Amino acid sequence: MSQSSNQALLVSELVERFADRLDLNWICGRNQADSHSLSADSLQERPSLVGFLNLIHPSQIQILGEEEQRWLDKLDSRLRWQALAEIFAAKPRALIVASGLSAGSDLEEQARETSTPLLSSSKPGWELLSVLEYQVARVVAHRTILHGVFLEVFTQGVLITGTSGAGKSELALELLNRGHRLIADDSPEFIQMTPDAIEGRCPKVLQDCLEVRGLGVLNVRKMFGDSAVKTSKFLRLILHLYHPTQEDESSLDRLNRRAETQRVLDLDVPRLLLPVLPGRNLAVIAEAAVRNFMLQLKGFDSTAEFLQRHAQLLSSND
């Protein structure tokens, strides 16, 4: 069970968050800042959230650094006015003049005419871009909540899923005892940071907590120490626990050649099915699954190597 959503960030909120850190100062458009918002809806297209001045693929927030200002200054007054008109015709959410440079009367005039928020900063353009590009993406990125326990196992972000009573929390507790780290229990939140990276975090109300049947809610940080808890991790692998039926037990694939994935937001995440059977040490099996996954990331496939050996043996006996 999951729910997907994305958020919008008002320009006024953006300035409030980063005014001190990035030395953002209003030139004009402050009263219109509440009606200008940034969202991830347009990220399916070429334009980005934050970027340097671009007339072909304009970003939602355009930064005018030293190079952009030099380019504008080389234009005569007519061409400069046309270039600025083209910038504002793209309806940017805001413009930021970097490096303590002057905005220029023509830039300010067009910003006022189009009710576009215009700001200045003493910080260089590259610093504005690196901070805002990452921080804005975190706020407005598409996100979803998945039911399960999210852990760091051997440096990998691993989500343990399964039906109620499958033993997710018990497995998580055993992995914590073996030195691995808890990120979130029950309802971890996942955010699509880039097209190939999804970050998992814990809702504030659930931080440090793990619910175990019969014991209630445990505070993992108090029980195991600060090193047993981590605030976030990129999702790399899903381990799904299930109780096999009698027919399933007789037909379990011992070579496990099925490459399953689960769609999380816009990314297909590798998914392994772990049958819950009497006498199995699921913690050991989960660790082995993660280690094997790490080998596969490096290009080594144990099953493929075994099948190759088997084929070579059969061919040599012919």
Q: What pLDDT, in 10s, does the model give residues 4-22?
A: 556 778 899 889 989 999 9
On whether the CB atoms of residues 142 and 10 are closer than 8 A, the answer is no
Residues 135 and 162 in one domain: no
Residue 268 a catalytic site member: no
Comparing C-alpha atoms, which of 111, 97, 82 is closest to residue 24? 97
Q: Which of 46-60, 160-174, 202-216, 223-237 has the lowest mean pLDDT?
A: 46-60
Q: Is residue 318 situated within a structural domain?
A: no
Give me the catalytic one of 30, 147, 181, 221: 147
Q: Is residue 293 situated within a structural domain?
A: no
Domain total for the chain?
2
On whether the CB atoms of residues 105 and 72 are closer than 8 A, the answer is no
Residues 175 and 98 in one domain: no
Residue 254 a catalytic site member: yes
282 SS3 class = helix
Residues 266 and 185 in one domain: yes
Cβ atoms < 10 Å from Cβ of 73: 10
Share of the chain above pLDDT 70, in %: 91
Burial class of residue 207, CB neighbours in 10 A (0-12, 13-18, 19+): middle
Q: Report d(CA 165, CA 242) in Å as an integer.
A: 9
On whether the CB atoms of residues 220 and 209 are closer than 8 A, the answer is yes
On whether the CB atoms of residues 198 and 265 are closer than 8 A, the answer is yes
179 SS3 class = coil
Residue 74 a catalytic site member: no
Distances (CA, A) of 221 to 171, 209, 225, 229, 274: 17, 8, 5, 6, 28
Residue 91 a catalytic site member: no
The pLDDT confidence band at residue 289, using thresholds 50, 70 and 90, is very high
**Of 140, 164, 185, which one is at a domain's C-terminal end?**
140
**To which H or E segment does residue 22 belong?**
helix 11-22
Residues 57 and 181 in one domain: no
Residues 155 and 237 in one domain: yes
What confidence tens digit (pLDDT) does each residue in 236-282 have?
Answer: 999 999 888 766 555 555 555 556 899 998 899 999 999 888 888 99
Residues 231 and 219 in one domain: yes
**Of 107, 140, 173, which one is at a domain's C-terminal end?**
140
Cβ atoms < 10 Å from Cβ of 226: 10
Here the CATH number for the domain that contains residue 166 is 3.40.50.300
Does the pLDDT value for residue 97 go beyond 80?
A: yes
Comparing C-alpha atoms, which of 278, 298, 302 is closest to residue 288? 302
Q: Is residue 110 situated within a structural domain?
A: yes
The pLDDT assigned to 47 comes to 54
Here the CATH number for the domain that contains residue 105 is 3.40.1390.20
Residues 251 and 266 in one domain: yes
Q: Report d(CA 134, CA 121) in Å as an integer.
A: 18
Q: Is residue 298 situated within a structural domain?
A: no
Give me the catalytic one of 142, 143, 180, 186: 186
The residue type of 36 is H
Residue 52 lies in domain: 7-140
Give me the catalytic one of 168, 236, 240, 271: 168
The pLDDT confidence band at residue 115, using thresholds 50, 70 and 90, is very high
Distance from the Cα of residue 55 to its chain's centroid: 28
Q: Is residue 52 situated within a structural domain?
A: yes
Query: Which residues have CB under 8 Å from 55's CB, separation 6+?
Result: 83, 86, 87, 90
Q: Is residue 292 situated within a structural domain?
A: no
**Of 260, 277, 294, which one is at a domain's C-terminal end?**
277
Give me the catalytic one of 74, 204, 254, 258: 254
